């Protein structure tokens, strides 16, 4: 079983819609969860992190964490073409701090 | 004012050669990392150093050797390069190695990457 799983996509949404990106993880002891955005040919950029169950909002982005279901999601409201990128979910299991396990990413395309 | 920089950006070399990639951060962070991203975009940690001390040493061939002369620099030396080493290598840094009480220390900032092609 993979540590972190994401739908590879591509996920395609129209401009202005809500994009929903999902991630599941295998280690129930995982403590911290991160969403990175990676544009083609560029480096990953941290956009959200979440530690506690529930929702965390930052501008158009909302991260949702459900530890019981081992599930973390990222919602992007009012999607823009500039949001088109690969979104990487990363999990810190807490066994060795700073060791992040990444999913393979979901490719998002927002069409005008 | 590049926060995390890497050199070179591109590296093309032949099998069997030895090469190095350099990384520097000017964020004052204590922890630095090396990641490998393969052709399918899978990003996997290789090493991390905290204040020049090796913290994470994933299962990578011992042809890969990191070196941290000071906490602002982390270099990666690769001996006897193989075709399978072709990938993008990212350096990253964070304030600390991360604790739940200090969540900001978890944030890892990535360098621009070095695209290594072995022919």
Q: Give long-range contacts, CB 8 A cutoff, 24+ apart: B34-37.
A: B34/B66, B34/B74, B34/B76, B34/B89, B34/B90, B34/B91, B34/B92, B35/B89, B35/B90, B35/B91, B35/B92, B35/B110, B36/B60, B36/B87, B36/B88, B36/B89, B36/B90, B37/B87, B37/B88, B37/B89, B37/B90, B37/B113
- Whether the per-residue pLDDT at B97 is higher than 60: the answer is no
- Whether the per-residue pLDDT at B102 is higher than 70: the answer is no
Could you report the per-residue pLDDT of A55-112, keeping only the tens digit for each? 999 999 999 999 999 999 999 999 999 999 999 999 987 666 678 889 999 999 999 9
- Would you state the pLDDT for residue A52? 87
- Whether the per-residue pLDDT at B79 is higher than 60: the answer is yes
Could you report the per-residue pLDDT of A13-41, keeping only the tens digit for each? 999 999 999 999 998 888 889 999 999 99
Better pLDDT: B31 or B117: B117
- Would you state the pLDDT for residue B101? 56
Chain B residue closest in CA terms to A89 = B43
A102 and B109 within 8 Å at the Cβ level: the answer is: no
Using a CB–CB cut-off of 8 Å, the residues of A that contact B are 31-32, 34, 38, 42-46, 49, 51, 86, 88, 92, 94, 96-100, 102, 104-105
B103 and A51 within 8 Å at the Cβ level: the answer is: yes
Taking all residues of chain B, what is their mean pLDDT, rounded to a whole number?
89
């Amino acid at each position: 079983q993979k540590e972190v799983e994401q739908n590879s996509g591509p996920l395609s949404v129209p401009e202005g819609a809500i994009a929903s990106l999902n991630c599941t993880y295998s280690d129930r002891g995982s403590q911290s969860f991160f969403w990175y955005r990676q544009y083609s040919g560029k480096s990953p950029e941290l956009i959200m992190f979440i530690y506690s169950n529930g929702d965390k909002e930052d501008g158009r982005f909302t991260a949702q964490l459900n530890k019981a279901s081992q599930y973390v999601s990222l919602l992007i409201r009012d999607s823009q073409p500039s949001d088109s990128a690969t979104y990487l979910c990363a999990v810190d299991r807490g066994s060795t701090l700073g060791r992040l396990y990444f999913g393979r990413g979901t490719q998002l395309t927002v069409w005008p | 004012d590049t926060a995390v920089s890497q050199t070179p950006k591109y590296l093309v070399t032949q099998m069997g050669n030895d090469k190095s990639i350099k990384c520097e951060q000017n964020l004052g962070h204590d922890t630095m990392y090396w990641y490998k991203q393969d052709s399918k975009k899978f990003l996997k940690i290789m090493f991390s150093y905290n204040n020049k001390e090796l913290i994470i040493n994933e299962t990578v061939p011992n042809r890969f050797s990191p070196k941290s002369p000071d906490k602002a620099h982390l270099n990666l030396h690769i001996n006897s390069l193989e075709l399978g080493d072709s990938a993008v290598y990212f350096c990253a840094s964070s304030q600390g190695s991360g604790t739940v009480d200090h969540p900001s220390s978890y944030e890892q900032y990535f360098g621009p990457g070095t695209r290594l092609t072995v022919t």
